[in-house]
Amino acid sequence: MVGLGKGFAKMLRSTLCRVIIAFAVLTIAAIWAITLSRIEYDHQMAIRTTLRASENLAAAFQEHIQLHFDQIDETLLFTKQQYEKQGVVTETIIDRMQSKIFIPAMNLAIIDPQGNFRMSLLANSQTVNVSDREFFQTHRVKDSGNLYISKPVINRFTGKPAFHLSRRINRPDGSFDGVVVCGINPQYFSDFYREMRLGYSYSVTIIGIDGVVRVRQTASGMESGQDVSASSNFRQMQQAHSGSYLSTSVVDYQPRLFSYHHMERYPLIVQVSVLETEALADFREREVKYFRTAVFTSVIILLFYGLLVFMIVKREQLAEVRRESEERFAGAFGHAPIGMALVSPEGRWLKVNECLCQLLGYAESELLGRSVLEVTHPDDVNVNTELRLRMLADEIETYRVEKRYCHKSGFAIPCVLTTSLIRDVQKKPLYFVIQVEDATARIQTEQRSMLEKKRLQAILQIAQMETTSEKELLDQALTAIIELSASQFGYIYYYSEEKEEFTLHAWSQGVMEACTMPNQPTRYQLETTGLWGEAVRQRRPIVDNDFAMPDFLKKGYPQGHAPLKRFMTTPVFIDGKIVAVAGVANKKEAYTDLDVSQLTLMMDSLWNIIERRHAEEALRAANENLDHKVKERTRELDTANAKLIEQNEELEALNEELHRLTLADGLTGIANRRYFDEYLERAWRTGQRQQKPLSLIMADIDFFKLYNDTYGHQSGDDCLKTVAGVLAKSIKRGTDLAARYGGEEFAIVLPDTDLAGAVLVAEKIRKRVADTQIENREAPGHWVTISLGAASLLPSGSESPSSLIALADAAMYKAKNAGRNRVMSS
C-alpha cells in the first residue's frame, strides 16, 4: 500500500493524470449542477402547481359561499322589508322564505327590540332572550345597513356551534325595531368539504376579517371559533385580496402551502391549505431518483477515471519496479559475494562478475565469448547436461548441482552450481543465470567432520579393548592412523628424553612387506636419525610432500628400506615431555594441516588411553591389597553390628510398648481419651481443608451401674473389653478411630462420612453388641445393650470439634431417653 501511495503521488505530478482527474471532476461537477438545477426547477414547479390548484379551490369555495350568503341575504332583506312595511310577518311567510335557503338554516326568526323572539318556527322560542348576543347588540347600537355575520356561538336551542347572518329592522323614524336573523350550522360546510375528498392534508377555513374562524374543516374533523387575528398567517392574508404563501400552521404547527381569497361582498376570507410534505410528495420521489442517478453516474465516472488513473499508475509503477529491479540486479550481480554469470543457451559466457573471475583466475575479457566447458573439469562436463536440457524444455525452473571447475593455474575447484533460465514473453530462452559458490571450505569442513567421526570411532574402539595387550592396542591405533591419513605406511616409536632413544613399538604391515633390510633394528639414538627425528629435535610436526627433493636434514635411508614419496611425523607430549613419535608416509595427495591435526589428536587420545591403562593396572594392584584389609575389618564390624542391631530391636520394642501405653486405654486396648482428642482435632483440620464432612458416634452401655452392682467390677471390666472389641471390629477403614471416652462411654470418629453413613455404622455396632448376648438380669431385656448418638458437620472456622461432640452427645441422650438400645442422630 505504501508503494502504491508513492506511485499515486508521482502520478499526480504527471500532466496526463492531472488532465484526467480535472476532466473527471468537471464532468461530475456538471452532472451535479444539472441535477441540482433540475431539482430546483421541479421544486418550484411543484409549489406553483400546488398553489395554483389551491388558489383555484379558494376562489371556487369563495364563489360557493358567496352564492349561498347572497341567497340568505336576499331572504333576510325581503323579510326585513315586509316587516317594516306591514309591521308583521306571518309564520307562513317565514316558513316559505326559510325553505328557499339552500343551506339548511337552523332558524329564521324576527327578534324584537328587547331581544325576545317575535316570530320563529322553533318551539318554545318565546322563552329565550338573545339580547346578549353579539349580532343583536351590534344592530341595536348601529345601523350599518349591511348584512352582519357573527362569530360562532353555541346555539341555545340545539346546543351545537352556529354563527348568525342578520339585518337590522327600523321603525319609520329609523329607530331600532329588532333584528331579522338566520342561524347557520357550520357542519354544512364541513360535510360539503369532506365530501369533496381533497386529501388528508388539506384544510378549508372560513375566517372573518376580525380573525375569528367561522369554520375549519380538516381530515380529522371540524373546528370553529378560534381567534387567529394575532398570527402571522392572518397578517399575511391582510396584505392582498388573494394570494398564496408558505408558512407554519398555528393549528398543527406543520409547514403548509396556503391560498386565500377575500369575499367581495362579505367580511370573510376563504383559506385553503395543504401540507408541504403531501404537496411535494411526487417531487420528493423524483428528487430521490435525480440524486440516485447523479450518485450512480458519479460513481461510474469515478470508477472509470479511477481505473484509468490506476492503470497508468500501475504501468508506471511496474516500469519503475522493473528499472529498480534491474538496477538492484546489476548491483547485486556486480557485488555478489559468490560467482554469478549470464550464459547463452549455447553455453557461452555473456556476462560475468568480479567474484567469478577471482574464483577461476581469469580476467573478464578472457571469459566472455568462451564456452563454459573450457573451464569445466573434464570429469564433470556432463554432470548437468540432462538438467540443462530439461530446463530448456520447460520441465523444471531451476536446478542445483555440484561440479568442479578448472582454475587458470590448473587445479580443480569444487563448486555448487545453481542455474535458472530467463525467457522472453514468447517463452523463448534468452539466457541462463548461474550462481557459482566455492565449495572448498564446505568440503573441507565435511572432510574434517568425517575424519573427526572416524577418529572418535577409532578412539572408542581402542578404549573398549580391555583384554588386549598394549602391543595389540598400538597396532590397532596405527591401523586407524593410516586409514585416517589415507597413507601407505605408518609407525609408532616410544621416546625417552633421558636416554634420547627411540624404541619401536608398532610398524604397519605394509612397511614390513616393503622393507628388505636384514636385522631390522628396533632402537635408535636421536643423533643417528634423519628427517623423522626432526619431530623431536624441533619439537613440532614435520611434513615433507616431496621426499625426493634434496634436504640437508635428510640422511637418506639404508638399502632395503621401504621407498618414501611423502612423509609426516608428529611428537606426543605429556607434561611438556616427548614420550612418543608417530609417523605416516606415501599418501597419494599432499599432507595438509588437517592431517597433522588429526594425527596429533589421535596420538594424544591414544596416549591418554595408555596412561589410563597403566593407572588402572596400578590401581588394581592397590585395590587387591585394600580388599584384603577391608575384608578383615568387615568381619570385625559385622560382629559389632550384630550386637548393635540386637540392642536396637530391644529398644524399639520398649518404645512401641511405651507409645501403646501412652495412646491406648489400659483396660480395653483401644484408643484412650487423650488420643481421641488429638485425632479428632487432626480430622477436623483435614475436613476443613478438603471441605469434606466429619461424623462422630457417641455410645454408652445401658444400665451399666446395675451390671456392676449385680456382677461385680471384674465382670464390668470384662463387659467393657467385649464392647470395645465389637467397636474395633465394626470399623473397617484405616482413617476411622474407636476410642474409650470415659467410664462406660465410647466414641467413634468417622472422617469423610456424612450423617447417613454414620447412622449405618452406629446401627451395625448396636446390633453386634446385642448379638453378643452378655447377660444382665437387672436390664429390661436381660441382656447388655448400647445406646448411640450420631452427628455430622462440615468443618469450618466458625465451629470447633467440641461442637461436633456436643451434637453427638445430645443425640446419645436422646436415644437413652427414648428407651435405650437404639440409635438417634442430630
Using an 8 Å Cβ cutoff, are 271 and 205 in contact?
yes
- CA 733 to the chain's CA centroid: 52
In the structure grid, which three cell numbers stand for residue 291, read together? 440524486
Helix/strand/coil for 739: strand
Of the candidates 26, 24, 28, 30, the residue with the CA atom closest to the CA atom of residue 296: 28
Give the integer Cα–Cα distance in Å for 407 and 436: 13
Q: Which residues have CB under 8 Å from 232's CB, separation 6+?
A: 247
Give the integer Cα–Cα distance in Å for 152 and 214: 6
In total, the chain counts a number of residues equal to 826
| Catalytic residue (choose from 276, 287, 534, 744) | 744
Edge-to-edge strand ranges of the sheet holding 339-343 = 349-352, 339-343, 429-438, 412-423, 398-406
Beta strands in 86-227 (DSSP E): 105-111, 117-120, 148-149, 153-154, 161-170, 176-184, 202-208, 213-218, 221-223
Give the integer Cα–Cα distance in Å for 724 and 718: 10
- CA 509 to the chain's CA centroid: 74
Reported for 631-635, long-range contacts at CB under 8 A and 24+ positions apart, including other chains, are: none
Using an 8 Å Cβ cutoff, are 128 and 196 in contact?
no
In the structure grid, which three cell numbers stand for residue 148, read together? 352582519
Question: Is 500 considered catalytic here?
Answer: no
Which residue in this structure is represented by grid cell 514473453?
425
Q: Which residues have CB under 8 Å from 311's CB, separation 6+?
A: none
SS (H, E, C) 448-464: HHHHHHHHHHHHHHHHC
Helix/strand/coil for 107: strand
Edge-to-edge strand ranges of the sheet holding 268-275 = 221-223, 213-218, 202-208, 268-275, 255-262, 242-248
Which residue in this structure is represented by grid cell 611438556?
576
Bridge partners, residue 524, by sequence = 502
For residue 712, the tally of other CB atoms under 10 A from its CB is 11
Which helix or strand (DSSP H or E) is residue 44 part of? helix 15-86
Using an 8 Å Cβ cutoff, are 250 and 207 in contact?
no
Bridge partners, residue 308, by sequence = none
Helix/strand/coil for 783: strand
For residue 35, the tally of other CB atoms under 10 A from its CB is 18
Backbone angles phi and psi of 700, in degrees to 5: -140, 130
In the structure grid, which three cell numbers stand for residue 194, read together? 369532506
For residue 751, the tally of other CB atoms under 10 A from its CB is 21
Helix/strand/coil for 629: helix
Reported for 314-322, long-range contacts at CB under 8 A and 24+ positions apart, including other chains, are: 314/7, 316/7, 316/10, 316/11, 316/14, 317/3, 317/4, 317/7, 320/7
Q: Using CB atoms within 10 Å of the CB of residue 328, give its burial: 0 to 12 exposed, 13 to 18 middle, 19+ buried.
A: exposed
Which helix or strand (DSSP H or E) is residue 341 part of? strand 339-343
Torsion of CA 51, 55, 61, 63, to 10 degrees: -170
For residue 198, the tally of other CB atoms under 10 A from its CB is 19
List residues with catalytic annotation: 744
